[in-house]
Amino acid sequence: AAWAQCPNGTPPPCRAQPAAQADSLLSQARAAILRAQRGDRDGAKREFQTFIDVYNTRADRLTSQEFVAVAVAVTYLGVDDPQLFKDALRAYDRAIATDPDNLDARVKLGELFLEKYNGAEAKTTLAGALARNPAYVPALVAEAKRRDFDNERGADSLLNRALALEPEHVPGRVLHARFLADIEDFAGAMREVDRALRAKPDDVDALALASALARVTGDTA
């Protein structure tokens, strides 16, 4: 996807969108993600494709958070068209350039690098987030995941620190459950998953791990 100039000949910088419009775009992204998670891939794909038009025609007017919404949508589309991951990276870069203190953008970019098995870029990106806020829980959890991926020391201690700061952080509890499952503490892992699901009953990662743990322990029901 290509970046567009400001519309109607308006010279840059273009004005940011009103808050109501920003909320609308973010709500649209969340709704599409929910459709994807519930199995309506075709419907979700149609919703996500509208973000490409946003990406092409309104880039100079988007807020940092809206760039994140675009990046998330394009990442979902990248499952069918891997070339779109490059546009997701570009959107995250624009989000960070627009607001360097958008730690959510930095963490999501780091997680995308990790999903693409690029531990070095993930490390650099997450280090940037933690340099700005060493107590930002999503960054601590993501860095714990990254260290585990790269077989570096300190993953457990970082995760424990994150959960001490925010005990009901669902991705952190799910990651802790995975760590426990790795050492075959399946009962402990299930306790962590149950705690995550009490906080967010529809969390797809927690539900998937709960299913895997039930299977591994022979709980067919």
- The 10s digit of each residue's pLDDT in 144-196 is 999 999 999 999 999 999 999 999 999 999 999 999 999 999 999 999 999 99
Mean pLDDT for the stretch of residues 49-65? 87
Average pLDDT, whole number, for the chain? 88
Q: Is the pLDDT confidence value at 62 over 80?
A: yes
Eight-state DSSP code of residue 133: -
pLDDT at 19 over 80: no
Q: How many CB atoms lie within 10 A of CB 82?
A: 10
Task: Using a pLDDT cut of 70, give the percent of the chain over it.
Answer: 90
User: Which residues fall within 8 angstroms of residue 195, CB to CB, at 6 or more apart?
Assistant: 168, 173
Judge if pTM exceeds 0.75: yes
**Looking at residue 20, what is its pLDDT?**
45
Taking the CA atoms of 60, 7, 2 and 75 in sequence, report the sign of the dihedral they define. positive
Q: Which residue has the tokens 């925010």?
A: 166
Note the pLDDT of residue 120: 95
- Given a cut of 70, whether residue 2 has pLDDT beyond it is no
Q: How confident is the model at residue 23 (pLDDT cuts 50, 70, 90)?
A: low
Q: Which residues contact 204 (CB under 8 A, 6 or more apart)?
A: 37
* Angle ∠(91,79,170) on CA atoms, nearest 5: 75
pLDDT value of position 203 = 93
Give 57's pLDDT tier (boundaries 50, 70, 90): confident
